[in-house]
Chains A and B, each alone.
Chain A
């Protein structure tokens, strides 16, 4: 990264930090209230990161933008909630995980393999097909009602720092646990990618298909692994979002929020997906509370997309993405 680009990145972060603390500096907010919003925003952001992570994983390893990631989240959550009617949670979880691995295998066999070496747009269209298939198949076999997913997460909010501040800070326990789960998952993935030969093989495939093949890395198996990992991430996101919002069709709209996250963070960067998610989560909550009233509220729903638009105009590769330079 050139020093000018690095300086721009840091300037962006500085501006962001300034914007985040502005409400306090201007005296609009009291510290505990502000902290409450910041924490809430960060925890929502982690959940966006979860979905974005699935997108980045597949994009890195196969150059495919997986439109079906949202459908995978819904499908996993739906399968889990229906299986839990008959099986204990842990058993159901393992079965759904097996289903997601089987799905990855099928996608590789029936979609990716016949389309190998096709244009990116063709593969993208194919994942669109996978998304519709999963929607239809899921609702056909498992019903289209709204289901409550109760995995035993405590619902009642907690009050922290009661001694330090007057009234303390209200934190949603469910969000806190979800954020912890996401953090563990991200750490495990980082370990897997950085420290194992398979992780190295995945990164190798992401960088260069042909060279990876020449050192004996089997592309087909790598794709199955990557889609399986994306399936696992979808399952975790499904559990967390499902228990928060209920398992229903609109769950896949959550995946739409992952799009601005990857635009912000960069399509090829795992840290980018995480930090992008945090920025969007934080940004939409803070702007809703402090800027929202100027527009009559409702900012939370479009803030992410406007931020993404700004990035597309000025920094299309995102904060951490690889810059695309064509040789002329």
Chain B
């Protein structure tokens, strides 16, 4: 599917019910308020962007959603369950996967192993059976490997599948990061600046992968990104943060014309 076709598919597809909702979430580190009373929802199958100037609290927000940070106030509702905070393991079990702004890959492992590690929670057989590769464990391993190979094909990284990721160029490492998150077969995928530091060509590739994931697997995507062009092209709805507060929420067009957003980005006389 070409870039434009994928774009069209997103545009015509109807959005589902809210799968994730934050209500009144506040987070403070000592006296520093990272987030103040932030509320928004994410509908199933949509691509939801979070934008804002540096230090606006975007990454903190992702960390609240997948349980790395505990908010001081507010609730997070995910798949119908209301929580005061999420736990990293439980959020992974319930179907939230993420990528990282500064790469956090398992550098000593190959591309294949990194993505296989992403299927950690889906592996069921016992330790002993795995070590000896006997019976159902072997069957399971083969099934997992098959799925991993599909992801590798999908991301077009077949040629480096046995290379330790530490040796790959940056753009490919970003793809592996995405692959590892996809391997968990998540319901919601959190992408923390998937295109930071990329050139135009790499950005186009990554945009295509994100749209394809959303389209082919129906995965809901929450995306932090600095490149306005990319954000406006990809996302269905956009949340804008500034100094930890939500200052706008709506379709790309609505957000683009919001005075609060323009002020936040261009600065305003106080």
| Contact residues in B for A191 (Cβ distance below 8 Å) | 131
| Contact residues in A for B97 (Cβ distance below 8 Å) | 214-215
The answer on a CB contact under 8 Å between A204 and B109 is yes
Extra contacts besides A203-B106, A204-B120, A218-B89 (17): CB < 8 Å: A191-B131, A192-B131, A196-B130, A197-B123, A200-B109, A200-B116, A207-B107, A207-B108, A210-B68, A211-B104, A211-B106, A214-B92, A214-B97, A214-B98, A215-B117, A216-B88, A216-B120
Closest to A210 in B: B104
A201 at the interface (CB under 8 A from B): yes
Assign chain B's interface to a size class.
Answer: 20 to 34
Selected contact of A217 from candidates B100, B109, B120, CB within 8 Å: B120
Instruction: Tally A residues with Cβ within 8 Å of B.
Output: 23
B105 at the interface (CB under 8 A from A): yes
| Contact residues in B for A204 (Cβ distance below 8 Å) | 106, 109, 117, 120
Cα-based distance from A201 to B184 in the complex (angstroms): 14
How far does the Cβ of A91 sit from chain B's closest Cβ, in whole Å?
Answer: 22
| Contact residues in B for A215 (Cβ distance below 8 Å) | 92, 97, 117-118, 120-121, 180-181, 184
**Can you list 6 residue pairs at the A/B interface with Cβ under 8 Å?**
A192-B131, A196-B130, A200-B113, A214-B66, A215-B120, A218-B89
B133 at the interface (CB under 8 A from A): yes
How far does the Cβ of B110 sit from chain A's closest Cβ, in whole Å?
Answer: 11
Cα-based distance from A191 to B133 in the complex (angstroms): 11
B254 at the interface (CB under 8 A from A): no
The answer on a CB contact under 8 Å between B130 and A214 is no
How far does the Cβ of A5 sit from chain B's closest Cβ, in whole Å?
Answer: 14
The answer on a CB contact under 8 Å between B88 and A207 is no
Q: Which residues, 213 to 231 on A, are CB-close (under 8 Å) to B?
A: 213-218
Interface readout for B121-139 with A: 1 if CB under 8 Å, 0 if not?
1010001001101000000
A195 at the interface (CB under 8 A from B): yes
| Contact residues in B for A213 (Cβ distance below 8 Å) | 68, 88-89, 92
| Contact residues in B for A192 (Cβ distance below 8 Å) | 127, 131
Closest to A220 in B: B89
| Contact residues in B for A200 (Cβ distance below 8 Å) | 109, 113, 116-117, 120
Interface readout for A176-210 with B: 1 if CB under 8 Å, 0 if not?
00000000000000011001111011011011101
Given contacts A203-B109, A216-B89, contact A208 B120 (CB under 8 A): no
The list of the 7 closest CB pairs from A to B, nearest first, reads A216-B92, A211-B104, A207-B106, A213-B88, A216-B121, A196-B130, A197-B123
| Contact residues in B for A210 (Cβ distance below 8 Å) | 68, 100, 104
Given contacts A192-B131, A197-B120, A197-B123, contact A214 B113 (CB under 8 A): no
Cα-based distance from A207 to B117 in the complex (angstroms): 12
Closest to B124 in A: A197
Q: Which residues, 17 to 38 on B, are CB-close (under 8 Å) to A?
A: none
Given contacts A196-B131, A200-B117, contact A207 B105 (CB under 8 A): yes
| Contact residues in B for A206 (Cβ distance below 8 Å) | 108
Cα-based distance from A214 to B120 in the complex (angstroms): 11
Query: Which residue of A192, A208, A211 has the most chain B CB atoms within 10 A of its CB atom?
Result: A211
Interface readout for A296-328 with B: 1 if CB under 8 Å, 0 if not?
000000000000000000000000001000000
B156 at the interface (CB under 8 A from A): no
How far does the Cβ of A9 sit from chain B's closest Cβ, in whole Å?
Answer: 17
Cα-based distance from A211 to B98 in the complex (angstroms): 9
Cα-based distance from A213 to B130 in the complex (angstroms): 22
